[in-house]
Structure 1
Amino acid sequence: AHLHPLAYARGLADAARAAGVVIHEQSPVTRIQRGAHAVLHTDHGSVRAPQLVVAGNALLQGLVPELERRIMPVGTYIGASAPLGAERAQALIGNNMAVSDTAWALDYFRLSHDHRLLFGGRASYSALPPPGLHRVMQRRMHQVFPQLADIPLQQVWGGYVDITRNRAPHWGRLDGNLYFAQGFSGHGVAAAGLAGEVIAAAIAGQSERLDVFQRLQHAPFPGGRLLRMPLLVAAMSWYKLRDALW
């Protein structure tokens, strides 16, 4: 199955507002003060909370160092082709499934409701987008689908996901009242809803399911704050070379 992730996120926000939740956008947290009541500081004020769920993923930026050491930000990118028409689109993926390959640095693709090919991949492990991203993405799409040699990518965009060393989700609790969910490793659209259910149950006093996830061992990335990114780039360069040769 596949869905429109932005429409899904907006639907979740609408449901949260209908339940009385107040959403504050464009108010990044600059510091977390832990205690019986956590205090979240921003540039223009603070919020006190008896329970805190940290779900910053790739954008923790030093807020919770012991969590940040166990994830790495990875840039992932996707493009939308020009409209193909129903017949040409169906000839690419006749069963309308969402597809990913088995390479280490994988490609993934699906059809949109208006008969475009959405083609993703070309992950960046250096926190910088690949040079000439639009050209690189379009060339890769043409390699996988040579029958689209006359079709350009009209839009290309991207963002950061967080990965763990073992690619397993990293969910749990710190300090009694600080919960966290991270390490979705590219599967967050599907798994984040489950994380919310599991953590909400734990806050309500039923922690058995969260305890299962907390037993998963998550080693920090080697190299410390200065060297862990270069080490990851070197390792992933080897895996990408292996993909190309094999």
Structure 2
Amino acid sequence: VRIHEHSPVLRLERGPRPRLHTAAGSVEADFAVIAGNAWLHGIAPELESRIMPVGTYVGATPVLGQARARALIRNDMAVADTNWALDYYRLSADHRLLFGGRASYSSLPPPGLRRAMTRRMHRVFPQLRDVGLDYVWGGYVDISRNRAPHWGRLAPNIYFAQGFSGHGVAATGLAGSVIAEAIAGQAARLDLFARIPHRPFPGGRLLRTPLLVAA
């Protein structure tokens, strides 16, 4: 498989052999798989309307030392709670706590991000009230309205996977396997996922983000 990096797709030409157009040229294949996460940039409007880019952020504490770090999460597992806007955290190899969960439903980071994340970390781990965050960073994930993954076909030779809603580390591998099976002629599992109903976000491309922020 040839990987073409730094070549964003500008247009998808549908047909017997899908063709992907970039600024520098185009490629075609028997099958296409659309897996653009939060950024489809108009190449498949019927998919883009069913996801919303959401900013999510992570902070890292100073090195805590092995004993103090292990007292926070004894089994060294990654943890996520069940809140609608969830917190998630784990330990790093050098015994920092990585704490995430602050979300932004606009194109800008939340104001006072470091302070807000530190306050939330202290609420979950009051034993760290003397500890701040050395680093804070973030990026965007794609969420669906029902927070369920959205997989299926746009055409017999065009497949898609999106809407992982922050749970893509595990689910993207499964999506790849399921879509590969379908391309090889075994579509039972993909058809099962494709039956999950997914409604578009209200407001269209221009107003869906402002409406979500207002809500």
- Normalising by the residue count of structure 1, what TM-score does the alignment of the two structures yield? 0.84
Q: 2:121 aligns with which of 136, 141, 147?
A: 141
Q: By how many angstroms is 1:144 displaced? A: 2.1
Cα distance per residue 1:83-139 (max 9 Å; x no partner): 000111111122323222232212111111211100001111112211232232223
Q: Note the 1:94-173 alignment, pairs <5 A.
A: 94-173=74-153
Q: Note the 1:56-71 alignment, pairs <5 A.
A: 56-71=36-51
Distance 1:80 1:68 in 2: 32
5+ residue gaps, structure 2, are: none
Q: By how many angstroms is 1:227 displaced? A: 1.9
- The corresponding residue for 1:221 is 201
| Match status 1:29 vs 2:3 | no
Instruction: Name the Cα RMSD after superposition.
Output: 1.2
The residue matched to 2:109 in structure 1 has which SS?
A: coil
Residue correspondences, number: 215
- The corresponding residue for 2:59 is 79
Would you identify which runs of 4 or more consecutive aligned residues in structure 1 move more than 3 Å? Answer: none
Cα distance per residue 1:160-203 (max 9 Å; x no partner): 11111111110001121110000111111101111001100111
5+ residue gaps, structure 1, are: 1-20, 236-246
Q: By how many angstroms is 1:154 displaced? A: 1.5
The residue matched to 1:184 in structure 2 has which SS?
A: coil
Distance 2:165 2:108 in 1: 18
What is the percentage of aligned positions where both structures have the same residue? Answer: 73
Q: 1:182 aligns with which of 156, 162, 187?
A: 162
Bigger helix share: 1
Q: By how many angstroms is 1:142 displaced? A: 2.3
The residue matched to 1:143 in structure 2 has which SS?
A: helix
Cα distance per residue 1:220-242 (max 9 Å; x no partner): 0111122211221123xxxxxxx
Distance 2:213 2:84 in 1: 13
